[in-house]
Structures are given as C-alpha cells and as structure tokens.
Structure 1
C-alpha cells in the first residue's frame, strides 16, 4: 500500500456513501425506539427488549463480516462486492421496519425484532467494508483524515435527510389527510431510495480498488474467526480505543434517543421547531468538519478529541443543574453535543486505521476490517445496552406511551437521560483519550519502520 493522494472527486465519491450510511444509522438510533412507542404504541420495555435483542444479534453478524471481508474476498475484491450486495436488502428492511403492522402483542414483538435485526445486519454488512476501504487506500494519516472529513460532510447531509426533515414532512402529510402510519411509510421510502443511490455512487467509483485474489487473502497466515479477534484484542492501544467507543456510543444513544421525547413532552415544541433544533445539529456538524480537519493537521488528534469531550461533559453537567427550559437553551445544548460527537465520528476512524499499522508492525498482519468490526461489536453492544437502559429509565420514572402529557417524574427522567448520564460518560471518555499512548509522531515512526522492513 502506498501513501496515496486523492483528488477532490475521489474524496467526494468516497464520502458519498456516508449520506446513506448515516441516514439509516440515525433512523435506528434516534427514531426506532420512538417509532415503536409513539407510533406503533408498544410498551417501552417491550420496545427496549426488541432493540436489545436485535442489536446483540447484530454484534455477532458484525464480527463475522469483518472476518469475511479481510479473509474471503468475493469476485471483484474484499470490500466493494460486500458493499454492493448490502444496498438493496438495507433499503427494503428500512421500509418494512418503519411500517405499522397490526396483530397480537407476540406477533408485533416478533415482527419488529426480525425486521430490526435484518436492517441492522444489512447496514453493518455495508458499513464494515466501506470503513475498511479507507484504510486500504492509503497509509498517509492526513489523507485518511481528509477522507473521513468528506465522509463527515456527507454524514451531515444524511442528518438533513433522515433527522431534520423527517418529522416536519410527516406533519405536512398528516395535514393533507394522510394517516400517521402512511406518512411515515412515504417519507421512509424516499429516504431509502436516496440512501441507496448515495451508496451505489461510492461502489461504482471504487469498483476497481483493492482487488485481491482469493488465494492471496486466505494464504496470509489465516486464523480462525475467534483467534483473529483475540489477536487484535491483545493490542493495548486498540483496547483503549474500544473503551472510548463504548463510552461515547452509550452517551450518543442517550442523547439522540431521549431528545425526541424531550422536545415532545418537556418543551412541547412544534414540529417546525424540532426541525430547527435538529437542523442546527446538522449545520454545526458540517461546520465542524473543516475545523477538525484543519486542527488535526496542526495538533495531535487525541488532544483535540480530549478537549471536545471535556467541553461537552462540563456543559452537560451544568445543564443538569440549571435545567433546559427553553428552545434557546436546547439549541445551545445541541451545539455543544455536536462538538463532542463530531470529534468522535471524524477522528476515531483515523485512529482505528492507525491500529492496522500497529498490528502489522507487531504481528506482521493487516486486518483492517477485523479491527473495525471489533469496534462495531462494541458499538452495537453499547447501543443495545444504552437503548435498554433508556427504556428502563423511562419505565422507572413512569413514562406512559399512551399519555399526551407525562408526569413530573417522567419529565425529570427524560432530562436526566439528556444531561447527567451522557455528561458523566463524556468526562470518563476524555480521561481515556488523554491516556491513549499512540501519538501521531509514534504512528509515523511505525510507518517508517514498516517501509524499511519491506525494503
């Protein structure tokens, strides 16, 4: 692999798939629990159990995909064929999950569990090879950061499609006489088409990249599935990144999933106001992209990430004390939250890519997809636990999915889920990043040593 430099067109083509990837991911994180409780009218504990079961299943499928993508390429390469095969199943499963079905409680629980599991699996089967593709293409840390910067920009576009416009368009359709379930179905169908097109663009642009013959991949001292994962887990820097991933992903689920409840019940704002708040999150995310890219070229990535996490943690705990009581305060909250999550989503992949060189240096092996799959397993398990914990918090504080107005205890539980819990998690994550041992200087030393070894 060479230190390749990309054209702007190549960076845009790489980033395009993040629009669809993020649209589907945010629908899962922000609206899956909300859809099941407030549209389908499932009990929050049942909805939480559905999310937990489907996500735990998905964690295992993610592990298998990482191994297959690294060691068992299909005709055409290690990454693009798997990505291409996932696009249509993902779009179909997205539409089926966000459809209201009627039947017994057991039937409804089974239907949404299966649909959610299929949707998550198809999403992961695209996401793992796609993210590994970035590590395959170049060893240059700045080029990798640039690739993720363009991906982060399209993540903002995905937020616009699946988060900002969703509820306002549904509200407009309802005023035209469309039922709530019908409005959801129409909007989700449009999002599914847009997501599929964006993913197909990336597949077409890089269809000739990273082609590896099957024998070449399997003959790289291939180990069994669990041995592959145990080998990468022995890398101490990787274990530290996994801990950071767990903390931030749990915080992310609490914030993203509880904000829909908070806007509806705690503030009682209109759909247009909700769109404004979520639009600010998207705009700030887009604005943060060039800022983080510029800073990461001047300063060490882990220093930038530590600072962003500390700012977010302090602000969240402050909001827990003074309480978010207006849409202006909620907008300020959203800006700070986006600063913290932008630092994670834009910089964590470049740091995970660096683990590939550490693995090659210590074990004489490259396992990009395996490394990314392990991080996704932790992400999925943390998402499952966080969704279940949020459902339990709502239940403990007396949330009633059939009530138009919630009790003061339920409102307090929602506010805690939005501030105290994620604030503490961001604080611990900041400490973890500070203690992370691999600086950019250390990574470049490893890259140079690998070059000398090959020479």
Structure 2
C-alpha cells in the first residue's frame, strides 16, 4: 500500500545560502551562452562556424569529464563532507577563467582558435568541479519529494537573478564603456572581471553557510553503504535505471531548445529588430523577472499535481510558443514580451523541476544498487544538459553561416535575418517538443517515490519490505 510522507521544511537560511551557489553557477554559465559566441564573432572576428566549433569541442570535453567530477565527489572522505571541499577548491579557478575567456589577444586565426579553445576547456573544467558537487549537495540537504522542489524553486530565484545580470548588464556596460572611448575588447575585459568577482563571492557564501547540513554526513550506516565502486560501473548502473534514461533524454532536448532560444536573442534584437543596448537590457531584465514570477506557480503546481506532469505540460506550452512565433515574428516589442511570458513558463519549469526530479533518482539508485551516488547521478544529467548546450551553440553557428550571417558587417541579408528568426524559434521549438515526448515515459511519481522510501528505510534497517507499489520505477 502506498504511503504519503509528510513534508519536512528546510530552514530559510539553508534555502537562501544554497540559492547563492546557484548564482555562482549561473553567472558563468549564462554569460557564456548569452555572449561568448557573439563576442567571438563580433569582437574577435572569428567566423561563426569556427566560433561554434570552439564551444562544441570545449563543452563536449567538459561533459565527458562530468562523471569524473561526480565520482570523485561521491568517493571523497572528509570531515567537511563530500561536496563542499571540491566546491571551494574549484571556485577560484572557475572565476579566473570566466575572466580570461572574454580577453581578446591579437593573434592569427589559427593561434586565436587555439587560445580560445584552451581557455574555454579550462573554464568548463573548473566550472564542473564547482557545479557537480554543488548540485549533488542539494540532494543531501533533504530527501523529501516536495521539499526538493521548493529548494530548487529557491535556487531558481538565484538562477534568474544571475540570468538577469548576465544578460542585461553586458550590453549596457558595453555601450557605456565604448561611449567613454574604450575599445570593445577592453570593455569585455572589464565585464569579465566583474562577473568573475560575482562568481567567487556567491560561491564562498554558499560554501560557508551550508557547512554540516548534509543529512548523511554523520550517518555511519550510510557511509558503510557508500562503498567505493569503479567509475564506469557506477555510470553503467545509473544509466540502466529506468528514470535516468527518460529524464536524461528530456534534459538533452530542452538544453538545445533553451540554449538556442536564449543565446540567439542578442542576434535577433540587434539585427532583426534593430534594438540598441537599452532595449536589449530592458528585455533581458523583464525576461528574468517573468521567470522569477512564474516560480511560485510552478512550485505550487508541482507540489499539488506531481512534478512529471507539470514539467511535461509547461514545457509543452513553451514549445508551442516557440513554434507559433516562428510564423509571426516580432513586429512589436509587446509581441516579444508575449513570447517572453510563454517561453519563460517552459524554461523556468525546466530549470526548477529537472534538478528536483534528478535528486529523486538518487534514492532509486540506493534502493537498486545499495549506493548513494548523488555526484554521478548529477554528472549523468549534467552530461546530457551540456551535450545539448554544446550541440545548440554548434547548430547556431552552422545555421548562421548557412544563412549568410557576417559578424563584421552592420546590415545582414534577408536570408540571414530569416535564419536568425528560426534559430530563436522554429528549431528550438522542435527540440522542445522532443523534450516533452521523452519525459512522458519518466516513471517517478510522488506516490511511487513515497512507497519506495518506506521500503528503502526498511531495507536500511534489514527489515522486510515490498516493491509492489513502485515496480514501474525500477
């Protein structure tokens, strides 16, 4: 018989401090996906297809080593926990390379390609050793099905504050510095330094105020069950889990949709719509505020109706919006804002609920394989997300090149304008629909999860248990 567990709320201090770590994650992640391709094409002069290839190689490199970071995190033995030591060690190099990727050096085409490829590889490598333990930490702060959603809603507030800063601030600062007589390349150096400082500060706040709050940190019985296992065996066991396959597929497809739709906006607003820095910044501020405004509604709906169906429904609405606006375009700023409201419902749901759903796989892994491997579970999902994001930047570069886009000219051709529109709407809309289709097969629901937790607690205590009510998850 299924059992309904009572939700145990986390203290405000923990939710707030954990959300600060999300700011550290999202500042670097979003300034990269919003502006790095644009920086390379329009300020360094790298051809768009080559610029997209730099991102593709670097992010695939990072994604491949995500499981390594997760495995190291899972197997760390420290009185300070398994996650936080890695987070603080990675925070400084992560912030340094966030600064260096926006530094242009006068080199030839080949040397420029090598320089930015190396810098982006180092950026993403240090990023993963902060963010994989950070996300795994979230699964260790609570094992409550609903409270994980609330924790992720708090984190999403931090996420969209960072998105607002990473999207709205650079165009404004760029125009301000250039109007003051500074070159565009030097302007980007200052912008990189500002964001690097924000990354380091928020990471340190999260690290400091979550110390000792992991629910399994002092549980000797849990430590005994977390025996060391090989990396490849751990990855194989987690990938075999039924929930992993379908959630990872959905994460991959929406990562493509989200990255293309958001990363292409700077091209859309500058070239198709003719917006200056003020209008661009205004849109990005509104975009982030709309995403934050959706969060209480998403959290309430997920707690009432189940994460999976809310996730599928709201991503579906966002995907339909993308497809619809590929036909209409954006003749008015008000139309762009309507697009923002519809797409943000899907995107906010993705960044809030997919992590919460991912955390629930950690208990499925423990039930099936007798291991707590939050790090590797996080890494597998991060791999799917980053491969999707890498494909998106590569697709964007290729499609822009195919449409005849030239980053060194002020006026684009009609074919380039049309391709910019499709990069922001039609193509991500198709991938968004695939994300919805994949998650419909995801088997974890609250009733099944609560029943499994009863059985898991009995299993931990070597008591009798039954899996009849949650067999479909296994």
Task: Give the alignment's TM-score, normalised by structure 2.
Answer: 0.92
Give the deviation of 1:75 after TM superposition.
5.7
Say whether the 8 Å CA contact 1:73–1:79 is kept in structure 2: no
* Cα root mean square deviation, aligned: 1.9
Alignment of 1:106-255 (within 5 A): 106-210=110-214, 211=217, 220-255=226-261
Q: Does 1:281 align with 2:309?
A: no
Say whether the 8 Å CA contact 2:225–2:371 is kept in structure 1: no
Alignment of 1:32-431 (within 5 A): 32-74=36-78, 76-210=80-214, 211=217, 220-431=226-437
Give the deviation of 1:258 after TM superposition.
1.1
SS of the aligned residue for 1:78 comes to coil
**TM-aligned CA distance change 1:71 to 1:220, over 3 Å:** same
Distance in 1, matches of 2:265 and 2:206, equals 32
Distance in 2, matches of 1:203 and 1:345, equals 21
Say whether the 8 Å CA contact 1:220–1:365 is kept in structure 2: yes
Distance in 1, matches of 2:354 and 2:322, equals 22
Distance in 2, matches of 1:250 and 1:149, equals 22
Deviates more, 1:181-190 or 1:337-346: 181-190
Give the deviation of 1:351 after TM superposition.
0.5
Distance in 2, matches of 1:236 and 1:366, equals 17
Distance in 1, matches of 2:249 and 2:279, equals 36
Say whether the 8 Å CA contact 2:100–2:192 is kept in structure 1: no
Partner of 2:466: none
Distance in 2, matches of 1:335 and 1:170, equals 27
Distance in 1, matches of 2:285 and 2:424, equals 18
Partner of 2:456: 450
SS of the aligned residue for 2:264 comes to helix
1:204-234 deviation line (CA, Å, top 9, x unaligned):
0122344479998697342211111001011
Deviates more, 1:292-301 or 1:128-137: 292-301
Partner of 2:26: 22
Partner of 2:471: none
From 31, 43, 48, the equivalent of 2:35 is: 31
**TM-aligned CA distance change 1:96 to 1:360, over 3 Å:** same
1:57-88 deviation line (CA, Å, top 9, x unaligned):
11122121011000133562210000000111
1:430-449 deviation line (CA, Å, top 9, x unaligned):
22222322111111111111
Structure 2 gap segments, 5+ residues each:
1-5, 462-474
Distance in 1, matches of 2:219 and 2:406, equals 56
**TM-aligned CA distance change 1:309 to 1:134, over 3 Å:** same
Distance in 2, matches of 1:218 and 1:26, equals 39
Give the deviation of 1:406 after TM superposition.
0.6
SS of the aligned residue for 1:333 comes to helix
Task: Give the alignment's TM-score, normalised by structure 1.
Answer: 0.96
SS of the aligned residue for 1:268 comes to coil
Say whether the 8 Å CA contact 1:71–1:218 is kept in structure 2: no
Q: How many residues align?
A: 454
Give the deviation of 1:253 after TM superposition.
1.4
Structure 1 gap segments, 5+ residues each:
none
Say whether the 8 Å CA contact 1:77–1:209 is kept in structure 2: no
